[in-house]
Structures are given as structure tokens and as C-alpha cells.
């Protein structure tokens, strides 16, 4: 029994130290035949459904920025990064990108060419849900 407990503790420590699996990242920029009047509320609803809080919303420009969240257990370059989503819906385009913030920094910066795989998957799911809710699929 003690060996099983020790093995479990070791595997949990190892998993915590290795951090998240990274994956290539590129923002989504998809042309649609949908108006911003349909895409923007669908984007807001999708983000809220997924537990994101809205920090900024500009209906005139069709832009939403979420409040930042920290990906639990992540270490990127041995610094914590906080992630947020920026969604733009103007001109029939649906553009979604991840922004990062280093701890104690106000400026939103690029997350680079690789981000945690979980966020790449999340972005794909967000896009599909927005298009479905807006009536685009």
C-alpha cells in the first residue's frame, strides 16, 4: 500500500513540474456571411457559457475582451502568464486571439508561436460555438 501511495505522489509531482503540453498557435480569422449584430452577442454568450468574464465590450467596433485567467499548473519560461481572449466581429469576420500578460504587467502581449495545447483546443471550440449560436452552421 505504501508503494502505491509513493508512486502516486511521485507521478503527481512529476506532472506538476513538467507543465502543460505546448502546441503551435495562430489566431483565428474566419470570413463569414454573418453580421456583427449576430456574431457579437453569440461571442459574448459563448464566452460567458465557458466561464469567462467580459472585461471590455464595444458594440460599435464589434470587440470583446475577457478578463484574464491563469491557466492552473502552467509554467511558461518559468513565469506565470495570464491569458485573455480578444474577439472581433466586424465586417463579417470572426477574429479570435489569445493575449498574455506577465504577472504584475498591465500590457497585453503576444503569447508567441506556442501556447498550452488546452488553449488551442479551447479556441477551436469557442469558434465553433460562436458560429453555431450565430446561425452560421
Cα–Cα distance for residue pair 82/115, rounded to 1 Å? 12
3-state secondary structure of 1: coil
Judge whether residue 69 has pLDDT over 80. yes
- Predicted confidence at residue 78, as pLDDT, reads 42
Domains of the chain in start order, with CATH, are 20-133 (3.30.530)
Bin 110: left if φ > 0, else alpha if -120 < ψ < 50, else beta.
beta
- Predicted confidence at residue 10, as pLDDT, reads 52
Judge whether residue 85 has pLDDT over 90. yes
- Predicted confidence at residue 22, as pLDDT, reads 83
Amino acid at each position: 500500500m505504501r508503494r502505491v501511495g509513493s508512486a502516486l505522489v511521485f507521478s503527481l509531482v512529476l506532472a506538476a513540474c513538467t507543465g502543460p503540453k505546448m502546441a503551435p498557435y495562430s489566431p483565428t480569422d474566419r470570413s463569414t456571411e454573418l453580421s456583427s449584430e449576430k456574431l457579437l452577442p453569440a461571442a459574448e454568450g459563448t464566452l460567458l457559457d465557458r466561464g469567462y468574464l467580459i472585461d471590455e465590450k464595444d458594440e460599435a467596433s464589434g470587440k470583446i475582451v475577457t478578463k484574464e485567467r491563469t491557466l492552473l499548473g502552467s509554467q511558461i519560461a518559468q513565469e506565470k502568464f495570464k491569458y485573455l481572449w480578444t474577439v472581433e466581429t466586424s465586417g463579417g469576420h470572426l477574429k479570435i486571439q489569445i493575449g498574455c500578460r506577465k504577472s504584475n504587467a498591465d500590457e497585453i502581449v503576444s503569447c508567441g508561436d506556442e501556447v498550452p495545447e488546452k488553449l488551442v483546443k479551447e479556441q477551436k471550440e469557442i469558434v465553433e460555438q460562436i458560429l453555431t449560436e450565430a446561425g452560421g452552421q
